[in-house]
Amino acid sequence: MQNMDKAKDIQSVTNERNFLQRINSQETIRQQIQNTTKNLDNSPWTDKAFSNPNRTVRLATTFSGIGAIEHAFCRLGLNFEIVFAGDIDPKCKQSYFANYDITEDRWHDDIHNLDATKYKGKVDLFVGGAPCQAFSMVGKRKGFEDTRGTLFREFARVVKECEPKVFIFENVKGLLNHDKGNTWAVIKNTFETYCGYQIYYQVLNSRDYGIPQHRERIFCIGFKNPTQFKYPAPKKLEYQMYDFLEDYINPKYFLPEKGIKFVTSRKNHLKSYTQINGDVALCQKRNQQFNWHGDFVYHPVAIDESPNPTFDEFVFDVCDVEEKYYLSEKVAKYVLASGTKNFKTSIQTDLPVARPLLQSMHKMHRAGVDNYVTHKGRIRKLTPRECLRLMGFKDSFKIVVSDTAMYQQAGNSIVVDVLIAILKQLDITKYGV
């Protein structure tokens, strides 16, 4: 009996000791967090100055596209050296080589053929946004092996091989919820366990960082050495999409009658497929300019400009009116008819003072009785330059490919201004040499 009591006493002491150890451990962790937080610079990223502005950041990218991170460095006036870059699209290579200082030996056309071991210790910042197709074994091991056959696996392999001080992995917002979160669990675990990096991730919207475009993307940042990091806080949007438009527009960007009816359809507006004269642009996509999806601009005819004689559709204001209010060609001809030999009627439209509105006007179209307005304006799509501006690329970016290729490249890019906010928040120069 005494032995049992003694055993209980020993167990009680042990339990109390373990409890106190846990409390002390938790207190230590809390203290470490508090101490680290005190050392963080909590000033707005817009006010942050780079600590080592004369250093050179050794930059590497894959799935490089048209070089959003490179353009961010250019806009910030920072020194950077391109260690390697690459993209499988030859037209992206054409745009990239026209705008950045790079040689053939530093370019890869296919990430599968890139041996990054030779760059180990030579990369300060590695950036890319691998297309993340479904993983073959998601939810089983939740690690590197689950990613085989995917481009993300190649991105992680390059991180492992070249060991950058910091990497930025960008992707679509939906990646977080894909396969009930299992896909992201695999990605995160791969970065942490296989690559050995401390990971932070957050969804950022470009409209929160100076660009009037609703574009949400996940930005995952990995640190080789343990680092406390807070994502840049949103700032007030000061511009509208109209601030990014060009003054002179080539007539080829204006839509034909069929396109106008599509983009002004109420159904497409409700589903956010199309938008006319929006303050904040819809998210740019690779193929939006070829299926009439996305943003469009309404241009009134100038005072000294004649309406386009090839398109004189009778409609209400295209910004507010559904497709059903357009008059068909047959009805328009009827309305414009001045009458017969024995009966004449006025066919005036756009009257300064409207004719009396009748309760029966919904039943038929009657020239000289009902009111009609003519559409003397035009609807056009965004130009390639405007698309680039809405991705944060200044007009110094050289366009050397076709409109088709440029639309695709802009829609696939990362918004430069979001990257600028991240670079300032990171104080990226402290990782330079």
Alpha helix ranges (H) inside 223-278: 257-263, 266-270
Question: For strand 216-223 and strand 198-205, is the pairing parallel, antiparallel, or unpaired?
Answer: antiparallel
Active-site residue, from 74, 92, 132, 195: 132
Q: How far apart are CA 385 and CA 246, in angstroms?
A: 8
Check: CB of residue 61 under 8 Å from CB of residue 68. Answer: no
In 3D space, the residue among 334, 318, 336 whose CA is nearest the CA of residue 326 turns out to be: 318
Interior CA angle at 258 toward 252 and 262, to 5°? 105
Check: CB of residue 318 under 8 Å from CB of residue 269. Answer: no
- Residue 305 DSSP class: -
Give the largest CA-CA distance in the chain.
127
In 3D space, the residue among 124, 153, 156, 104 whose CA is nearest the CA of residue 60 turns out to be: 124
- What is the crossing angle of helices 403-412 and 90-99, to 10°? 80
Percentages helix, strand, coil for the chain (3-state, rounded to 5) are: 40, 15, 45
Count each helix (H run) and each strand (E run) in the chain, helices first. Answer: 11, 10
In 3D space, the residue among 83, 170, 69 whose CA is nearest the CA of residue 121 turns out to be: 83
319 is catalytic: no
Query: Which residues are known to be catalytic?
Result: 132
